[in-house]
Amino acid sequence: MPELPEVETIKNDLSNTVTGKIISAVVFPPDFRCRILRRFCASSDIFGKEIQGAAITGVRRRAKYLIFDLDPPGMLIMHLGMSGQILLRGMDSAPDSHVRAIVQLAGEIELRFSDPRTFGELFLYRPPRWTLPFDLDGLGPEPLGPECTAAYLTAVVKKSRRSIKSLLMDKRIVAGIGNIYSDEALFAAAVHPGRPSCSLTRQEIAALRSALRRILTAAIRHRGTSARDQRYRDSGGRTGSFQNRLQVYQRCGQPCRRCGFLITSRRIAGRTASFCPACQHE
DNA sequence: AGTACAGCCTGCCTGC
DNA sequence: TGCAGGCAGGCTGTAC
């Protein structure tokens, strides 16, 4: 389940290689029922034809979306869902499994979108004909960006009665945070994931903001998390290493590295939340 | 209006 | 050994 640091790593890796390249073709394996285009309101042939011949002018990340800016103006957007990988391969290299789409570049290299669990999606933005089925502008601020100030976070946290974990994972509130990094940030800030948001003190909110920034930055530096049951790989097929630094996520039953108490997990907001009951009081 | 939750999907793991 | 069932989760639509 690639979250912000994983998508950021892929973006950084791809940026130099693909910027300036012409998309020579987009290929969809014929045996797959094109779930990857499930919200595109036309056929996969039309999707391919719309993008063919466009130049990639840059690669960006917004929340967990990977955005390829195109010329003629438009965007090819990828969301990796929970098991998606983007593999940068030579056109002659051995096939990869679970490939749902292939973006061929300049007739020499290709981006293979591999996704066993098929939660991933491809989008095309080229108005007025092709618009997005979701609101890119409605996303909350990037947690590492200048808009995610202590004042902003305090305001949104203080006015909600939802659990703080569910709030952190809401992309309209803060972009790009999933289960791994919400658990880790809450542990670092010593805040129980089930606490109603409005019960957090200003000090706790400040600690949470700083924990988020510290952890996400470190995770990017370690090229993301490839934990057990995480298929995350970078565009070269390599794992990240932040799984070695996780404090609570997938450490249920193991001793807390801070106090020795056993890490526990509980279902909060429909997700498995891992936390230390001693360090993170309810 | 704000919040909670089912459903989508398949590979892997556990238990029988 | 083989199979059934549970689990993982980002996002959306729907229900409360």
Proximity of residue A274 CB to strand B below 7 A: no
Best CA proximity match to A14, nearest among A83, A100, A85, A63: A85
Chain A residues 160 to 179 whose Cβ lies within 7 Å of strand B are 160-163, 166
Bases in strand C with any atom closer than 7 Å to a protein CB: 7-13
Long-range contacts of A210-217 (CB under 8 A, 24+ apart): A211/A184, A211/A185, A211/A186, A212/A143, A212/A168, A212/A174, A212/A177, A212/A181, A212/A185, A213/A143, A213/A144, A214/A188, A215/A181, A215/A184, A215/A185, A215/A188, A216/A4, A216/A5, A216/A143, A216/A144, A216/A176, A216/A181, A217/A144
Chain A residues 23 to 52 whose Cβ lies within 7 Å of strand B are 35
Tell me the mean pLDDT in the region A37-45: 89
Q: What is the pLDDT of residue A82?
A: 86
CA A203 to C1' B9, in angstroms, rounded, equals 41
Q: What is the pLDDT of residue A174?
A: 95
Q: What is the pLDDT of residue A31?
A: 62
CA distance A150 to A226: 30
| Catalytic (active site) residue A2 | yes
In this complex, the nucleotide whose C1' atom is nearest to the CA atom of residue A97 is B11
pLDDT digits (tens, 9 = 90+) for A220-277: 999 999 876 667 899 998 989 998 899 999 898 899 999 999 999 988 888 889 999 9
* A17 neighbors A88 (Cβ within 8 angstroms): yes
Chain A residues 234 to 273 whose Cβ lies within 7 Å of strand B are 269-270
* A87 neighbors A98 (Cβ within 8 angstroms): no
